[in-house]
């Protein structure tokens, strides 16, 4: 019996992978069960003798049932294979890593979790948004924008009053609905807001504006999943559009604030 490694692949760019993850992929993995979000550059680091199975789970598309993934991991580990479950971002942040570790424990299989950089923090950073900043906010709330499929709708009206930066995963397809609920909950429509799609990847794009105009900007720019939405004063610190604000300008703006 061997153990299963639940590895976080980070937000996208291969060089944002942890050293521990890269080493396990390159030296130990025999079977890799990879999520859709994991980029080809990262899969290229897997040792050539290993088998890579895509067990994608992307909103709106056909996905591998979670139970099947659980059974497969247990069966392969029992056969003595070194199994890597490779997940986008961090395995324990909206990654069903908790459920997978429970399923492995129920099957008598040891699990080791290798954390990854979560998209909700690394993707805003890629466009100059610090999710916390002493001058603007005392905290950050990571929340899912998806309801249904066993997910409970977040309490948007409580979140509107939280006083923290809101970082919303899996919310871009429902941005109109989410914004309406936050405004109804008392969040001022002119609160800065941004959305970033395919962060840290070559196709990275983002928009920034206010809470009220975010849905129109997202649809005008055609931003689709995977995307992160950031709401709060820190979102105003984003570069106006990708690449047109050099790090020195950004630093000057942050210093002046
Ligand atoms: N475990 C992952 C999150 C999985 S949920 C993590 O810790 O990052 C999938 C959601 O993550 C996507 O719908 C999107 O909201 C976000 N996401 C993942 N990668 C992203 C990327 N490169 N750019 C923008 N958002 C991303």
> Residues 48-68: what's their mean pLDDT?
80
Share of the chain above pLDDT 90, in %: 79
Name the range with the highest mean pLDDT among 18-32, 54-68, 139-153.
18-32
Catalytic residue among 23, 35, 149, 213: 35
Ligand 1 center–CA 249 separation, angstroms: 28
User: Of 114, 135, 165, which one is at a domain's C-terminal end?
Assistant: 114
Q: Can you give the pLDDT at residue 11?
A: 97
HSE of 165 in the Cβ direction (CA atoms, 13 Å)? 28
Q: Can you give the pLDDT at residue 253?
A: 64
Q: What is the DSSP letter of 88?
A: S
Catalytic residue among 57, 81, 87, 208: 57
Q: pLDDT tens across 164-185, in order? A: 999 999 999 999 999 999 999 9
Phi (first) and psi of residue 142, to 5 degrees:
-95, 125
d(CA 188, CA 211): 8
Q: For the chain, how long is the longest CA-to-CA vector?
A: 59
CA distances from 210 to 186, 214, 218, 241, 257 (A): 14, 6, 11, 15, 18
Ligand 1 center–CA 225 separation, angstroms: 8
Ligand 1 center–CA 119 separation, angstroms: 5
221 and 158: one domain? yes
CATH number at residue 102: 3.40.1010.10
Q: Can you give the pLDDT at residue 184?
A: 98
157 and 222: one domain? yes
Catalytic residue among 73, 87, 170, 208: 170
Tell me how far the alpha carbon of residue 33 is from its chain's centroid.
18
Q: Can you give the pLDDT at residue 239?
A: 64
88 and 137: one domain? no
- C-alpha torsion sign, points 24, 26, 27, 31: positive
Ligand 1 center–CA 246 separation, angstroms: 25
Asked if residue 188 has pLDDT above 60, the reply is: yes
Share of the chain above pLDDT 70, in %: 90
User: Of 114, 134, 150, which one is at a domain's C-terminal end?
Assistant: 114
β-sheet bridge partners, residue 7: 86, 114
For ligand 1, what atom is nearest to the CA of residue 59?
A: 13
Known active-site residue 28? no
124 and 81: one domain? no
Q: pLDDT tens across 191-248, in order? A: 999 999 999 999 999 999 999 999 999 999 999 999 999 999 999 997 644 444 445 5
Angle between helical axes of 175-184 and 214-221 (0-180°, round to 10): 170
190 and 98: one domain? no
Q: Can you give the pLDDT at residue 214?
A: 98
Question: Cβ neighbours of residue 60 under 8 Å, at least 6 residues apart?
Answer: 173, 225
Site residues for ligand 1, CB cut-off 6 Å: 11-12, 37, 87-90, 93-95, 118-119, 123, 169-170, 196-201, 225-228
Tell me how far apart the terminal alpha carbons of the chain are, to the nearest angstrom. 56
CATH number at residue 220: 3.30.950.10
130 and 72: one domain? no
> Residues 98-116: what's their mean pLDDT?
95
69 and 92: one domain? yes
d(CA 2, CA 137): 45
Q: Please indicate, yes or no, whether the overall pTM of this predicted structure exceeds 0.85.
A: yes
98 and 126: one domain? no
Q: pLDDT tens across 193-207, in order? A: 999 999 999 999 999
Domain membership of residue 94 as a residue range = 4-114
CB 88 within 8 A of CB 198: no
Ligand 1 center–CA 121 separation, angstroms: 10
Element (DSSP H or E) covering residue 247? helix 247-256
215 and 96: one domain? no
Asked if residue 25 has pLDDT above 60, the reply is: yes
CA distances from 12 to 158, 171, 254, 255 (A): 31, 18, 26, 29
Q: Which of 117, 224, 228, 242 maximizes ligand 1 atoms within 8 Å of its Cβ, making it the mutation to test the pocket?
A: 228
Q: Can you give the pLDDT at residue 245?
A: 46
User: Of 76, 95, 114, which one is at a domain's C-terminal end?
Assistant: 114
Asked if residue 254 has pLDDT above 70, the reply is: no
Question: Cβ neighbours of residue 184 under 8 Å, at least 6 residues apart?
Answer: 156, 157, 160
> Residues 118-140: what's their mean pLDDT?
96
Number of domains in the chain: 2
Known active-site residue 57? yes
Element (DSSP H or E) covering residue 100? helix 97-106
């Amino acid at each position: 019996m061997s153990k299963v490694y639940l590895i976080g692949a980070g937000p996208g760019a291969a060089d944002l992978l942890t050293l521990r993850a890269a080493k396990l992929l390159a030296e130990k993995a025999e079977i890799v069960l990879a999520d859709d979000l994991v980029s080809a550059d990262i899969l290229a680091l897997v040792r050539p003798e290993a088998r890579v199975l895509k067990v994608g789970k992307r909103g709106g598309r056909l996905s591998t049932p979670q139970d099947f993934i659980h059974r497969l991991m247990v069966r392969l580990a029992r056969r003595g294979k070194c199994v890597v479950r490779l997940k986008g971002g961090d395995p324990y942040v909206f990654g069903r890593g908790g459920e997978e570790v429970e399923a492995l424990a129920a099957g008598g299989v040891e699990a080791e979790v290798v954390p990854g950089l979560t998209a909700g923090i690394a993707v805003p950073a890629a466009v100059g948004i610090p999710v916390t900043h002493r001058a603007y906010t005392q905290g950050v709330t990571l929340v899912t924008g998806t309801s249904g499929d066993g997910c409970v709708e977040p309490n948007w009206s409580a979140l509107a009053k939280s006083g923290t930066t809101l970082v919303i995963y899996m919310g871009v397809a429902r941005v109109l609905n989410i914004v309406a609920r936050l405004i109804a909950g008392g969040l001022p429509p002119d609160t800065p807001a941004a959305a970033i799609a395919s962060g840290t990847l070559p196709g990275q794009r983002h928009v920034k504006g206010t809470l009220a105009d975010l849905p129109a900007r997202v649809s005008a720019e055609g931003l689709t999943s995977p995307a992160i939405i950031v709401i709060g004063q820190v979102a105003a610190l984003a570069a106006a559009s990708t690449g047109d604000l050099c790090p020195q300008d950004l630093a000057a703006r942050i210093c002046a604030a």
